[in-house]
Amino acid sequence: MNLERVSNEEKLNLCRKYYLVWVFLPRWVWPFLWLVNIFWFFREAFLVPAYTEQSQIKGYVWRSAVGFLFWVIVLTTWITVFQIYRPRWGALGDYLSFTIPLGTP
Predicted pLDDT at 68: 95
Contact in structure between 53 and 11 (CB atoms under 8 Å): yes
Residue spans per domain, the chain: 3-75
Among the listed residues 50, 25, 26, 54, the one whose alpha carbon sits nearest the alpha carbon of residue 41: 54
DSSP letter string, 2-26 = -GGGS-HHHHHHHHHHHHHGGGGS-
Please return the burial class of 7, using the count of CB atoms within 10 Å of its CB with bins 0-12, 13-18 and 19+: exposed
**What is the pTM (predicted TM-score) of this model?**
0.77
Which pLDDT belongs to residue 81? 95
Q: What is the mean pLDDT of each run of 10 residues along the chain (105 residues)?
A: 82 85 80 91 89 91 94 95 90 80 66
Res 104: pLDDT = 66
Residue 90 — left, alpha, or beta (φ > 0 → left; ψ -120 to 50 → alpha)? Answer: left
